Every structure is written in C-alpha cells, then in structure tokens.
C-alpha cells in the first residue's frame, strides 16, 4: 500500500519491497513512465507496460498525422527534423527535467529558423524515452505480448469490479497505512469467501 497520488510513483517502491523479483511485470498505462521502464531495464526485469500515449498511437488517424514524429524526416548528420510541410527544426539545446520521484529526463529542444511561419515554434524530443517506448510497443504488439497483456484483464481487473460492485467497497474506512492494509485485506478476504461459497453452491 502506497500513499502516492499517482500510479507512476508506486511501481519502484513496490518492486523494491519484493524479496524475490518477478520474471515479468505487466501493468497498465499509469505505470509506463520513462523512469519506471528505465528502472526495470536496469534490474533486468522483463516488462509489458503501456505508456500513456500507447493506445492513441495505434489509431490510424494518429499514424497518418503530422503530430506523429515517425512521419517527419530526421537528418542525423546535421541533427534536424523535417516537418511534412518541409519546415526544418534544428537542434537548439538540452533541457533537463527532474520529476517528483527524482528521475531526470533529458529533453532535446528543436527550433525552426523561421518560427513565425512554422507550424510550431519548437518541439521537445526525448530520445531515451522514445527508444524505450519503441521497445515496449514492439513487445506489446507481438503475439505473445498481446496474449499476456490480455490475460491481465482477466486475472486482475475483475477483482476490482467485484469488490466495488458486489461488496460496495468504494473507499477505505480507516486512516493510516497499517489500518488501510487491514481494511483492504478484509475486503479481499470477503471477496474470496464469497467466490468460494458460490463455487461450493454450484
């Protein structure tokens, strides 16, 4: 149990608390930050985790959009991008952004020579995160990756629905980490007993 306000900041503390590392971690888009994917790579734990824009990027409209950087030409020798309309965006500088978990993102900023006429005055590109997302996309769209990720919806998601809909457990009744832990354990126990009784009756 973690008091962090977003899923993103719970993955690393959770993994650090494990005495035995899992072979593979499967999680939804709330956990697909650059820091989390980078951390799992560093400790050699395989992962299937959607990043925030994953579903949007699979849509046909996005794949053909000029917002998709894959539709831009990149000239490595001179380090500039070419917008589909022909506008060139040259590398300007690097910006470092430290998030609340302490992870530092290295952002490359690109700007056009004619900002007043350009479709956008500048854009940021995170080369490391883009590489991580490319690797994650390849795994998620593979037959085996798709099968494993789909199984997560069967194994994990129904439990939350059962607790909320069948037991009416939509919020914690106690305060404090230890008491909240007891609270959710009682709810999970009640859900297991309910399923056991239903199976026994059938």
Number of H helices, E strands in the chain: 8, 7
**Do residue 75 and residue 125 come from a single domain?**
yes
- Domain carrying residue 113: 67-133
Is 11 part of any domain? no
Is 141 part of any domain? no
For residue 49, give the nearest of 171, 139, 109 by alpha carbon.
Answer: 139
pLDDT tops 80 at residue 7: no
Sorting pLDDT into bands at 50, 70 and 90, what band is 3?
A: low
* CB 53, CB 47: distance < 8 Å: no
- How many Cα atoms occupy the beta-carbon half-sphere of 33 within 13 Å? 20
Last residue of a domain, one of 102, 133, 164: 133
pLDDT tops 50 at residue 1: no
- In angstroms, the first-to-last Cα distance of the chain is 35
Sorting pLDDT into bands at 50, 70 and 90, what band is 179?
A: confident
Write down the pLDDT at residue 183.
Answer: 86
CA 47 to chain centre: 11
**Do residue 128 and residue 160 come from a single domain?**
no
Average pLDDT over residues 141-166: 86
Average pLDDT over residues 68-89: 96
Least confident of 96-100, 156-160, 174-178: 156-160
Sorting pLDDT into bands at 50, 70 and 90, what band is 107?
A: very high
**Do residue 122 and residue 73 come from a single domain?**
yes
Write down the pLDDT at residue 6.
Answer: 60
Does residue 28 or residue 128 have the better pLDDT?
128
Average pLDDT over residues 19-34: 93
Is 79 part of any domain? yes
**pTM: predicted TM-score of the whole model, two decimal places:** 0.80
Is 192 part of any domain? yes
Tell me what the pLDDT averaged over the chain comes to.
90
For residue 122, give the nearest of 87, 77, 150 by alpha carbon.
Answer: 87
Least confident of 1-15, 68-82, 168-182: 1-15
Is 17 part of any domain? no
Is 115 part of any domain? yes
Sorting pLDDT into bands at 50, 70 and 90, what band is 4?
A: low
Percent of the chain with pLDDT over 90: 64
**Do residue 79 and residue 119 come from a single domain?**
yes
Write down the pLDDT at residue 167.
Answer: 83
**Do residue 72 and residue 121 come from a single domain?**
yes
pLDDT tops 50 at residue 61: yes
What stretches of 2-103 adopt beta strand conformation (E)? 24-27, 46-49, 73-75, 80-82, 88-98
Question: How many structural domains is the chain composed of?
Answer: 2
**Do residue 73 and residue 108 come from a single domain?**
yes
Average pLDDT over residues 179-184: 84
Is 58 part of any domain? no
Is 142 part of any domain? no
**Do residue 80 and residue 122 come from a single domain?**
yes
Does residue 155 or residue 91 have the better pLDDT?
91
């Amino acid at each position: 149990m973690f008091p962090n306000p977003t899923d993103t900041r719970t993955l690393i503390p959770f993994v650090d608390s494990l005495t035995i590392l899992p072979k593979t971690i499967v999680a939804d888009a709330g956990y697909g930050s650059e820091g989390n994917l980078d951390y799992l790579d560093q400790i050699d734990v395989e992962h299937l985790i959607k990043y925030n824009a994953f579903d949007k990027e699979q849509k046909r409209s996005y794949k053909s959009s000029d917002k998709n950087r894959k539709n831009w030409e990149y000239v490595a020798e001179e380090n500039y991008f070419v917008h589909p309309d022909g506008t060139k965006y040259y590398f300007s500088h690097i910006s470092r952004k430290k998030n609340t978990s302490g992870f530092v993102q290295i952002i490359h900023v690109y700007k056009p020579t004619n900002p007043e006429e350009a479709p956008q005055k500048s854009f940021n590109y995170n080369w490391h995160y883009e590489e991580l997302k490319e690797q994650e996309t390849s795994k998620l769209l593979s037959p085996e990756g798709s099968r494993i990720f789909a199984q997560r919806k069967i194994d994990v998601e129904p439990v939350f629905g059962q607790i909320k809909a069948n037991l009416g457990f939509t919020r914690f009744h106690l305060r404090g980490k230890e008491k909240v832990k007891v609270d959710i354990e009682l709810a999970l126990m009640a859900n297991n007993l309910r399923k056991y009784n239903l199976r026994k009756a059938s």
